[in-house]
Amino acid sequence: MTTSQPTPAQLGYRMPAEWAPHQATWLSWPHNEESWPGKLHIVLPIYARMVAALARSETVHINVNDEAMEEEACRLLHSVGAEGDIHFHHFPTNDAWCRDHGAIFVVRDGDDPLAAIRWEYNAWGGKYPPFDLDRQIPRRMAEALGAPCFDGGMVLEGGSIDVNGEGLLLTTEACLLNPNRNPHLTREQIEQRLCDYLGVSTVLWLGDGIVGDDTDGHVDDLTRFVAPDTVVTAVESDPSDENYDALQENLRRLRRMTDHRGGALRIVALPMPPAIVYEGRRLPASYANFYIANRVVLLPTFNHPNDDRAAAILAELFPTREIVGIDCTDMVWGLGAWHCLTQQVPAV
Protein backbone atom coordinates (compact mmCIF):
# COMPACT_ATOMS: atom_id res chain seq x y z
CA MET A 1 0.00 0.00 0.00
CA THR A 2 3.01 2.32 -0.13
CA THR A 3 3.55 4.72 -2.99
CA SER A 4 6.33 7.05 -4.05
CA GLN A 5 3.80 9.69 -5.07
CA PRO A 6 2.01 11.96 -2.60
CA THR A 7 -1.52 10.81 -1.82
CA PRO A 8 -4.47 13.13 -2.45
CA ALA A 9 -4.78 13.68 1.30
CA GLN A 10 -1.11 14.67 1.51
CA LEU A 11 -1.79 17.14 -1.30
CA GLY A 12 -4.62 18.68 0.73
CA TYR A 13 -7.61 17.02 -0.95
CA ARG A 14 -10.70 15.83 0.89
CA MET A 15 -14.15 14.63 -0.06
CA PRO A 16 -16.86 17.15 0.90
CA ALA A 17 -20.18 16.14 2.37
CA GLU A 18 -22.98 15.70 -0.14
CA TRP A 19 -24.85 18.76 1.18
CA ALA A 20 -21.86 21.02 0.44
CA PRO A 21 -22.37 23.17 -2.68
CA HIS A 22 -22.22 21.38 -6.03
CA GLN A 23 -21.10 22.74 -9.36
CA ALA A 24 -23.05 19.90 -11.00
CA THR A 25 -24.58 16.46 -10.78
CA TRP A 26 -23.32 13.77 -13.17
CA LEU A 27 -25.54 10.98 -14.56
CA SER A 28 -25.41 8.06 -17.00
CA TRP A 29 -28.55 7.68 -19.13
CA PRO A 30 -30.32 4.30 -18.62
CA HIS A 31 -30.29 1.96 -21.60
CA ASN A 32 -29.51 -1.54 -20.34
CA GLU A 33 -32.65 -3.66 -20.78
CA GLU A 34 -31.19 -6.31 -18.47
CA SER A 35 -31.17 -3.88 -15.55
CA TRP A 36 -34.95 -3.34 -15.76
CA PRO A 37 -36.25 -6.44 -17.53
CA GLY A 38 -39.56 -5.56 -19.17
CA LYS A 39 -39.68 -2.13 -17.52
CA LEU A 40 -37.06 0.09 -19.17
CA HIS A 41 -39.76 1.89 -21.16
CA ILE A 42 -41.55 2.66 -17.88
CA VAL A 43 -38.39 3.68 -16.06
CA LEU A 44 -37.13 6.19 -18.61
CA PRO A 45 -39.92 8.79 -18.13
CA ILE A 46 -39.47 8.47 -14.34
CA TYR A 47 -35.74 9.04 -14.76
CA ALA A 48 -36.49 12.09 -16.91
CA ARG A 49 -38.56 13.55 -14.07
CA MET A 50 -35.52 13.17 -11.80
CA VAL A 51 -33.35 15.03 -14.32
CA ALA A 52 -35.95 17.80 -14.53
CA ALA A 53 -35.90 18.20 -10.74
CA LEU A 54 -32.11 18.29 -10.69
CA ALA A 55 -31.91 20.81 -13.51
CA ARG A 56 -33.92 23.24 -11.36
CA SER A 57 -31.17 22.93 -8.79
CA GLU A 58 -27.85 22.83 -10.64
CA THR A 59 -25.99 21.97 -13.84
CA VAL A 60 -26.53 18.38 -14.98
CA HIS A 61 -24.04 16.31 -17.01
CA ILE A 62 -25.35 13.14 -18.69
CA ASN A 63 -23.34 10.34 -20.28
CA VAL A 64 -24.99 8.94 -23.42
CA ASN A 65 -23.74 6.30 -25.81
CA ASP A 66 -24.24 8.21 -29.05
CA GLU A 67 -26.22 10.85 -30.93
CA ALA A 68 -29.33 8.68 -31.14
CA MET A 69 -29.42 8.20 -27.37
CA GLU A 70 -28.94 11.93 -26.85
CA GLU A 71 -31.88 12.66 -29.15
CA GLU A 72 -34.10 10.17 -27.31
CA ALA A 73 -33.05 11.65 -23.96
CA CYS A 74 -33.83 15.17 -25.20
CA ARG A 75 -37.26 14.05 -26.36
CA LEU A 76 -38.08 12.56 -22.97
CA LEU A 77 -36.71 15.53 -21.08
CA HIS A 78 -38.76 17.91 -23.22
CA SER A 79 -41.88 15.82 -22.51
CA VAL A 80 -41.50 16.38 -18.76
CA GLY A 81 -40.63 20.06 -19.08
CA ALA A 82 -36.97 19.76 -18.10
CA GLU A 83 -35.25 23.12 -18.33
CA GLY A 84 -31.84 24.30 -17.22
CA ASP A 85 -28.17 23.75 -17.87
CA ILE A 86 -28.03 20.16 -19.17
CA HIS A 87 -24.91 18.87 -20.95
CA PHE A 88 -24.61 15.59 -22.83
CA HIS A 89 -21.34 13.71 -23.20
CA HIS A 90 -20.89 10.91 -25.70
CA PHE A 91 -19.22 8.68 -23.12
CA PRO A 92 -20.62 5.16 -23.67
CA THR A 93 -21.57 3.15 -20.59
CA ASN A 94 -22.65 -0.38 -19.81
CA ASP A 95 -25.26 0.75 -17.29
CA ALA A 96 -26.79 3.73 -15.50
CA TRP A 97 -25.35 3.51 -11.99
CA CYS A 98 -23.13 6.60 -12.04
CA ARG A 99 -22.75 6.65 -8.25
CA ASP A 100 -20.76 3.44 -8.50
CA HIS A 101 -18.91 3.66 -11.80
CA GLY A 102 -18.36 7.43 -11.86
CA ALA A 103 -15.45 9.39 -10.45
CA ILE A 104 -15.52 10.44 -6.81
CA PHE A 105 -14.46 14.05 -6.52
CA VAL A 106 -12.27 15.67 -3.88
CA VAL A 107 -11.39 19.34 -3.35
CA ARG A 108 -8.64 21.51 -1.89
CA ASP A 109 -7.58 25.14 -1.67
CA GLY A 110 -5.04 26.40 -4.20
CA ASP A 111 -4.09 25.05 -7.62
CA ASP A 112 -6.18 22.24 -9.15
CA PRO A 113 -8.92 22.72 -6.56
CA LEU A 114 -10.98 19.83 -7.96
CA ALA A 115 -9.63 16.31 -8.52
CA ALA A 116 -11.19 12.98 -9.44
CA ILE A 117 -10.53 9.60 -7.90
CA ARG A 118 -10.81 6.65 -10.24
CA TRP A 119 -11.43 3.54 -8.17
CA GLU A 120 -11.34 0.07 -9.66
CA TYR A 121 -14.80 -1.09 -10.69
CA ASN A 122 -15.91 -4.70 -11.14
CA ALA A 123 -19.73 -4.41 -11.25
CA TRP A 124 -20.31 -5.33 -7.61
CA GLY A 125 -18.01 -8.31 -7.45
CA GLY A 126 -18.20 -9.32 -11.11
CA LYS A 127 -21.96 -9.91 -11.03
CA TYR A 128 -22.88 -8.08 -14.25
CA PRO A 129 -20.38 -8.26 -17.09
CA PRO A 130 -19.48 -6.55 -19.29
CA PHE A 131 -18.39 -3.42 -17.44
CA ASP A 132 -15.44 -2.30 -19.55
CA LEU A 133 -17.15 0.91 -20.68
CA ASP A 134 -18.16 1.85 -17.14
CA ARG A 135 -14.54 1.49 -16.00
CA GLN A 136 -13.54 4.25 -18.41
CA ILE A 137 -16.06 6.80 -17.15
CA PRO A 138 -14.07 8.32 -14.24
CA ARG A 139 -11.18 9.41 -16.45
CA ARG A 140 -13.53 10.78 -19.07
CA MET A 141 -15.41 12.78 -16.44
CA ALA A 142 -12.12 14.17 -15.14
CA GLU A 143 -10.95 15.10 -18.63
CA ALA A 144 -14.24 16.86 -19.39
CA LEU A 145 -13.82 18.98 -16.26
CA GLY A 146 -10.07 19.54 -16.70
CA ALA A 147 -9.41 17.91 -13.33
CA PRO A 148 -6.44 15.73 -12.39
CA CYS A 149 -7.33 12.07 -11.82
CA PHE A 150 -5.84 9.76 -9.21
CA ASP A 151 -6.08 5.97 -9.25
CA GLY A 152 -7.51 4.76 -5.95
CA GLY A 153 -5.87 1.36 -6.28
CA MET A 154 -8.73 -0.79 -4.98
CA VAL A 155 -12.29 -1.71 -5.89
CA LEU A 156 -14.74 0.81 -4.46
CA GLU A 157 -18.23 1.97 -5.44
CA GLY A 158 -19.52 5.39 -4.48
CA GLY A 159 -22.66 3.94 -2.92
CA SER A 160 -20.59 1.97 -0.43
CA ILE A 161 -19.39 5.08 1.43
CA ASP A 162 -20.82 8.25 2.93
CA VAL A 163 -18.83 11.13 4.46
CA ASN A 164 -19.57 14.06 6.76
CA GLY A 165 -16.93 16.31 5.19
CA GLU A 166 -15.10 16.65 8.50
CA GLY A 167 -13.15 13.41 8.69
CA LEU A 168 -15.77 10.68 9.18
CA LEU A 169 -16.66 8.00 6.63
CA LEU A 170 -19.44 5.42 6.98
CA THR A 171 -19.30 2.06 5.23
CA THR A 172 -20.27 -1.59 5.76
CA GLU A 173 -18.34 -4.74 6.47
CA ALA A 174 -20.68 -6.70 4.20
CA CYS A 175 -19.51 -4.73 1.16
CA LEU A 176 -15.97 -3.48 1.66
CA LEU A 177 -14.74 -6.66 3.36
CA ASN A 178 -16.44 -8.94 0.83
CA PRO A 179 -13.84 -11.18 -0.86
CA ASN A 180 -15.33 -10.31 -4.26
CA ARG A 181 -13.91 -6.77 -3.93
CA ASN A 182 -10.39 -6.61 -2.49
CA PRO A 183 -9.46 -10.05 -1.12
CA HIS A 184 -5.77 -9.07 -0.98
CA LEU A 185 -6.38 -6.17 1.41
CA THR A 186 -6.98 -6.21 5.17
CA ARG A 187 -9.52 -4.02 6.91
CA GLU A 188 -6.66 -1.79 8.08
CA GLN A 189 -5.28 -1.44 4.55
CA ILE A 190 -8.71 -0.54 3.19
CA GLU A 191 -9.14 2.07 5.92
CA GLN A 192 -5.73 3.56 5.11
CA ARG A 193 -6.55 3.78 1.43
CA LEU A 194 -9.82 5.59 2.19
CA CYS A 195 -7.98 8.04 4.42
CA ASP A 196 -5.21 8.59 1.86
CA TYR A 197 -7.50 9.23 -1.09
CA LEU A 198 -10.62 10.81 0.42
CA GLY A 199 -9.00 12.84 3.17
CA VAL A 200 -10.93 11.20 5.99
CA SER A 201 -9.49 10.33 9.40
CA THR A 202 -11.96 7.80 10.81
CA VAL A 203 -13.82 4.93 9.16
CA LEU A 204 -17.06 3.85 10.86
CA TRP A 205 -18.18 0.29 10.10
CA LEU A 206 -21.77 -0.91 9.94
CA GLY A 207 -22.66 -4.56 9.38
CA ASP A 208 -25.07 -5.98 6.81
CA GLY A 209 -27.20 -4.32 4.15
CA ILE A 210 -30.88 -4.73 3.36
CA VAL A 211 -32.46 -7.74 1.71
CA GLY A 212 -32.37 -7.67 -2.08
CA ASP A 213 -29.35 -5.38 -2.33
CA ASP A 214 -27.13 -6.93 -4.98
CA THR A 215 -24.27 -4.59 -4.03
CA ASP A 216 -23.55 -6.69 -0.92
CA GLY A 217 -24.71 -3.98 1.45
CA HIS A 218 -24.18 -0.43 0.23
CA VAL A 219 -24.42 2.11 3.00
CA ASP A 220 -26.56 4.46 0.90
CA ASP A 221 -29.53 2.16 1.50
CA LEU A 222 -28.87 2.19 5.27
CA THR A 223 -27.37 5.23 6.93
CA ARG A 224 -26.52 8.72 5.66
CA PHE A 225 -24.83 11.75 7.12
CA VAL A 226 -27.11 14.79 7.06
CA ALA A 227 -24.88 17.05 9.19
CA PRO A 228 -21.33 16.65 10.57
CA ASP A 229 -22.65 15.10 13.79
CA THR A 230 -25.97 13.66 12.55
CA VAL A 231 -27.06 10.58 10.62
CA VAL A 232 -30.39 9.29 9.44
CA THR A 233 -30.61 5.53 9.55
CA ALA A 234 -33.21 3.12 8.21
CA VAL A 235 -35.09 1.33 10.99
CA GLU A 236 -37.62 -1.45 10.43
CA SER A 237 -40.43 -1.37 13.02
CA ASP A 238 -41.80 -4.85 12.31
CA PRO A 239 -39.82 -7.56 14.16
CA SER A 240 -41.10 -10.17 11.70
CA ASP A 241 -39.63 -8.34 8.70
CA GLU A 242 -36.45 -9.91 7.33
CA ASN A 243 -34.63 -6.55 7.51
CA TYR A 244 -35.39 -6.04 11.20
CA ASP A 245 -32.38 -7.75 12.78
CA ALA A 246 -29.73 -6.29 10.47
CA LEU A 247 -31.07 -2.75 10.84
CA GLN A 248 -31.29 -3.10 14.62
CA GLU A 249 -27.67 -4.28 14.72
CA ASN A 250 -26.60 -1.28 12.63
CA LEU A 251 -28.53 0.98 15.01
CA ARG A 252 -26.68 -0.54 17.98
CA ARG A 253 -23.37 0.11 16.26
CA LEU A 254 -24.28 3.72 15.51
CA ARG A 255 -25.11 4.31 19.18
CA ARG A 256 -21.54 3.31 20.09
CA MET A 257 -19.95 5.62 17.50
CA THR A 258 -18.70 9.16 18.08
CA ASP A 259 -18.43 12.19 15.84
CA HIS A 260 -15.28 14.10 14.87
CA ARG A 261 -15.28 15.89 18.23
CA GLY A 262 -15.69 12.72 20.27
CA GLY A 263 -19.36 13.23 21.04
CA ALA A 264 -22.11 10.72 20.39
CA LEU A 265 -23.65 10.83 16.94
CA ARG A 266 -27.12 12.30 16.72
CA ILE A 267 -29.23 9.52 15.22
CA VAL A 268 -32.51 10.17 13.41
CA ALA A 269 -34.60 7.09 12.60
CA LEU A 270 -35.91 6.86 9.05
CA PRO A 271 -38.80 4.43 8.43
CA MET A 272 -38.59 1.68 5.88
CA PRO A 273 -41.11 1.38 3.05
CA PRO A 274 -43.18 -1.78 2.80
CA ALA A 275 -41.66 -4.83 1.20
CA ILE A 276 -41.58 -4.37 -2.58
CA VAL A 277 -41.68 -7.77 -4.27
CA TYR A 278 -41.60 -8.31 -8.01
CA GLU A 279 -41.53 -11.69 -9.75
CA GLY A 280 -40.96 -13.33 -6.37
CA ARG A 281 -37.93 -11.20 -5.52
CA ARG A 282 -37.76 -8.67 -2.70
CA LEU A 283 -36.28 -5.42 -3.99
CA PRO A 284 -33.96 -3.10 -2.01
CA ALA A 285 -36.45 -0.30 -1.43
CA SER A 286 -35.19 2.29 1.07
CA TYR A 287 -35.86 5.95 1.79
CA ALA A 288 -32.17 6.28 2.68
CA ASN A 289 -31.36 6.27 -1.04
CA PHE A 290 -32.12 9.99 -1.28
CA TYR A 291 -29.83 12.46 -3.07
CA ILE A 292 -28.95 15.91 -1.69
CA ALA A 293 -28.65 18.50 -4.47
CA ASN A 294 -28.17 22.26 -4.07
CA ARG A 295 -31.84 23.20 -3.91
CA VAL A 296 -33.67 19.88 -3.77
CA VAL A 297 -33.48 16.53 -2.03
CA LEU A 298 -34.59 13.71 -4.30
CA LEU A 299 -36.52 11.15 -2.25
CA PRO A 300 -37.51 7.72 -3.55
CA THR A 301 -41.15 7.05 -2.68
CA PHE A 302 -43.18 3.86 -2.86
CA ASN A 303 -46.89 4.79 -2.74
CA HIS A 304 -47.16 4.18 1.00
CA PRO A 305 -47.99 6.35 4.04
CA ASN A 306 -44.36 6.12 5.14
CA ASP A 307 -43.48 8.25 2.10
CA ASP A 308 -44.89 11.29 3.92
CA ARG A 309 -43.11 10.39 7.15
CA ALA A 310 -39.77 10.13 5.37
CA ALA A 311 -40.37 13.40 3.52
CA ALA A 312 -41.23 15.21 6.76
CA ILE A 313 -38.05 13.96 8.44
CA LEU A 314 -35.87 15.14 5.57
CA ALA A 315 -37.72 18.47 5.36
CA GLU A 316 -36.83 19.15 8.98
CA LEU A 317 -33.20 18.22 8.37
CA PHE A 318 -32.92 20.24 5.14
CA PRO A 319 -35.19 23.27 5.69
CA THR A 320 -33.71 25.28 2.81
CA ARG A 321 -34.19 22.54 0.22
CA GLU A 322 -37.33 21.29 -1.49
CA ILE A 323 -38.03 17.61 -0.82
CA VAL A 324 -38.99 16.10 -4.19
CA GLY A 325 -40.56 12.67 -3.88
CA ILE A 326 -40.70 10.60 -7.06
CA ASP A 327 -42.26 7.13 -7.08
CA CYS A 328 -39.53 4.48 -7.40
CA THR A 329 -41.73 1.38 -7.25
CA ASP A 330 -40.74 0.58 -10.84
CA MET A 331 -37.28 2.16 -10.67
CA VAL A 332 -36.18 -0.13 -7.83
CA TRP A 333 -36.72 -3.14 -10.10
CA GLY A 334 -33.23 -2.15 -11.27
CA LEU A 335 -32.11 -2.62 -7.63
CA GLY A 336 -31.32 1.04 -7.01
CA ALA A 337 -32.83 4.51 -6.79
CA TRP A 338 -31.83 8.19 -6.87
CA HIS A 339 -28.59 8.08 -4.93
CA CYS A 340 -27.36 5.11 -6.93
CA LEU A 341 -27.98 7.01 -10.18
CA THR A 342 -26.30 10.31 -9.27
CA GLN A 343 -22.79 11.59 -8.56
CA GLN A 344 -22.09 15.07 -7.22
CA VAL A 345 -19.34 17.34 -8.53
CA PRO A 346 -18.38 19.68 -5.67
CA ALA A 347 -18.17 23.42 -6.20
CA VAL A 348 -14.70 24.95 -5.86
The residues assigned a catalytic role are: 340
- Torsion sign, CA atoms 110, 292, 35, 74: negative
Beta-carbon contacts of 240 under 8 Å, excluding residues fewer than 6 positions away, are none
Q: How far apart are CA 148 and CA 166, in angstroms?
A: 23
Other Cβ atoms closer than 10 A to 212: 20
Spatial distance between the Cα atoms of 7 and 229, rounded to a whole number of angstroms: 27
From the list 119, 105, 102, the residue with the least C-alpha distance to 18 is: 105
Per the CB < 8 A criterion, the answer to whether 331 and 318 are in contact is: no
Going by C-alpha positions, the residue among 26, 2, 5 that lies closest to residue 148 is 5
CA dihedral 233, 236, 242, 248 (to 10 degrees): 60
